[in-house]
A and B are shown apart, each in its own frame.
Chain A
Amino acid sequence: MSRFSQGATIALTIARKDALSELRGRQASGSTLFFAALVLLLFGFALGPDTRRLTDAAPGLLWLAIVFGGLLTVARLHQLEADDGALEQLALYPVDRRAIYLGKALAGTIAMLVLGAILLPVVAILYAIPIGAAWLPLVITVALGAIGFAAVGTAYAGLTVRMRAREVMLPLLMLPIVAPLLLSAVKATAAALGGDPFGEMGAWLQLLAAFDIVMLVAGAATYGFVLED
């Protein structure tokens, strides 16, 4: 087996294990979804019944809900490892640390995609926004955003999972790094929902894709240090 296919097997095995654990621990993932949907509902109450204002704010609110839900998701994916010393055991397997990182980032991406796929229709219903015509660019935006968020989140959740104040440290360290992702994703979502009158969506999606690549490469290169006690 070549090194690449061996690495791919390891990454897929880790992603499958995390996905299985997430599916079986439905209580935790269900409450994350509920929390993110509740954030959207509360923003709706805070902004009032003005449809125009809600439509303008919808892209930003959608991504804030994804970010809040995503923080809980990536933290939980590492908490699974920290329970009962599984993270140390994972670090002791004779496998490439980059494959471990990519496996966990893949699991995080899948969880984020599920979150985005549920929150998009919630936004459409709560804020009365027609998303049918813009579904393809919205799906691409959510996918690129999910990859980037999981890429950063996997590295930082690994870094903070052994800390006592990890619930505080994870957002504190991570949110400044994902600011460019949040900005690009909100702009791309707004352009998609508005019919992209200025032809700017492509540029924002390119920025998102570049962010994803840089963060995946950086995360894979540094995750070995993150795993060391």
Chain B
Amino acid sequence: MPQTTIYVAPRLAGMQDTIPPAVAAEDLARLFGRSAALAGISLEIEMGRTVALLGPNGAGKTTLLRILATAIRPSFGTLAIDGLDALRYDDAVRSRVVYLPHVTGLYDDLTAEENLRFAATMYGWSAPEVGDIVRAALDEVGLLPVATDRVRTFSAGMRKRVALARLLTARPSMVLLDEPHAALDGDGMALVDRLLGRWHEVGITVIVASHQADRVVGLADATLRLDGGLVAEVTGSGIRADSSWAAPAAAPAAFGSDR
């Protein structure tokens, strides 16, 4: 079984002695028009933890992940990633966080290899390094034999594998996954599970939103359940979350047992 190198973002300068939380959010809310996709949650996650983000459709999981990835800004609240103010230094945060969204974000007319070469260059690898990194990533996700095929010809599962391989071309300290098992076959799901384990081994913080609770909870240190844009339940270690600011009566403070 291939074992590509997992690259990790270096610790930030000035934070060699102190370890800030991977995520420190206060009263995060995001409105779309008049509706609140995220209605006010405070969240603290220790570095290196794997957190399963659960909840029904419309609970706010994707919105939370997109805010953490800096794809959208919160309407209210503060957010620090690895000790960096994510609203002020979003450029710096982007070099530490990678995000696998619902959609794959691939270029249909490029081959799998060209898509990944593009991503690796954008993640700052030099031209001589790019080739090896891309081939190793393709090997890891089992797409090396079709590396020169255009993505347009791929099935949904193969596209998801290319998107997973793109994560392996980055040097993150945090990986955000939105329904990573969707569209994958049994081998593909096992690949995701294997990657979750390897990211955990090297100390990368992982937040994985999924409807496959049984699958991800067993791989996670903690679970965070959202409902209606609020924190509904927190279990496990290395995480604190509550929605007391938004709706103290409806969502009493929920704390996971800290290790």
B73 touches A85 (CB 8 A): no
Mark contacts of B179-209 with chain A using CB atoms, 8 A cut-off: 1 yes-contact digit, 0 otherwise.
0000000000000000000000000000000
13 contacts between A and B (CB under 8 A): A21-B110, A80-B107, A80-B109, A83-B108, A84-B105, A84-B108, A85-B102, A89-B101, A90-B122, A92-B70, A92-B98, A95-B122, A228-B73
Known contacts: A94-B91, A94-B95. The answer to whether A13 contacts B118 by CB under 8 A is yes
Closest to B102 in A: A85
> Other than the known A25-B109, A84-B106, A93-B122, what 12 A-B pairs have Cβ atoms closer than 8 Å?
A6-B124, A10-B121, A13-B122, A80-B109, A84-B104, A85-B102, A85-B104, A86-B106, A88-B105, A93-B94, A94-B94, A94-B123
Q: Which 10 A-B pairs have the closest CB atoms?
A: A89-B105, A85-B103, A94-B95, A93-B122, A24-B109, A94-B94, A85-B105, A21-B109, A86-B105, A13-B121
**A91: Cβ under 8 A from any B Cβ:** yes
Residue-wise, chain B 44-74 has the 8 Å CB interface mask toward A (1 for contact) of 0000000000000000000000000111110
A152-197 interface with B by 8 A CB criterion: none
**Could you tell me which residues of chain B, from 240 to 257, have a CB within 8 Å of some CB in chain A?**
none
Residues of A close to B104: CB separation below 8 A: 84-85
Given A13-B122, A88-B101, A92-B69: A20 touches B108 (CB 8 Å cut-off): no
Q: How many A-B residue pairs have CB under 8 A?
A: 70
Distance between B75 CB and nearest chain A CB, rounded to angstroms: 13
Q: Check A86 against B121 for contact (C-beta < 8 Å).
A: no
Beta-carbon contacts under 8 Å, B92-134 to A: 92, 94-95, 98-99, 101-110, 114, 118-119, 121-124, 126
Cβ distance B154 to chain A, nearest Cβ, rounded Å: 11
| Interface set of A (CB-CB < 8 Å, partner B) | 1, 6, 9-10, 13, 17, 20-21, 24-25, 80, 83-86, 88-96, 228-229
B: which residues have CB within 8 A of A? 69-73, 91-92, 94-95, 98-99, 101-110, 114, 118-119, 121-124, 126, 150
In the complex the two chains form, is A91's CB within 8 Å of B71's CB? yes
Nearest A residue to B152, CB-CB: A24
Are A20 and B114 in contact, with the CB atoms below 8 A?
yes
Query: B107–A17 contact, CB under 8 A?
Result: yes
**Nearest CB in chain B: distance from A7 CB, A:** 12
Bound Cα distance A88, B70 (Å)? 10
**Cβ–Cβ < 8 Å partners of B123 in chain A:** 93-94
What is the CB-to-nearest-CB distance from B200 to chain A, in angstroms, rounded to a whole number?
22
Residue of A nearest to B92 (CB): A94
Are B107 and A92 within 8 A (Cβ)? no
Beyond A13-B118, A84-B103, A85-B104, whether A20 also contacts B109 by CB under 8 A is yes
| Minimal beta-carbon separation of A55 from chain B (angstroms) | 41
The residue on B at minimum CB distance from A21 is B109
A residues less than 8 Å from B102 (CB atoms): 85
Contacts of B69 in A (CB 8 A): 92
B114 proximity list for chain A (CB < 8 A): 17, 20
In the complex, A169→B73 CA distance in Å?
25
CA of A24 to CA of B109, assembled, Å: 6
CA distance A13 to B119 in the complex (A): 10
Out of B71, B118, B122, B124, which one reaches A229, CB within 8 Å?
Answer: B71
Minimum CB–CB distance from B175 to chain A (whole Å) comes to 13
Rounded to whole Å, the gap between the CB of A20 and the closest CB of chain B is 6
Residue with the highest number of chain B CB atoms closer than 10 Å, among A6, A17, A21: A17
Q: Which residues of A contact B109 (CB under 8 A)?
A: 20-21, 24-25, 80
Give B111 Cβ to nearest chain A Cβ, in Å: 10
Given contacts A20-B110, A25-B109, A80-B107, contact A10 B71 (CB under 8 A): no
Considering the complex, give the chain A residue whose CB is closest to the CB of B117: A13
B73 neighbours in A (Cβ, 8 Å): 228
* Contact status B121-A21, CB under 8 Å: no
Interchain CB contact under 8 A, B101 and A17: no
User: What separation, in Å, do the CA atoms of A23 and B11 have in the docked complex?
Assistant: 42
> Which residues of the other chain, B, contact A1 by a CB distance below 8 angstroms?
126
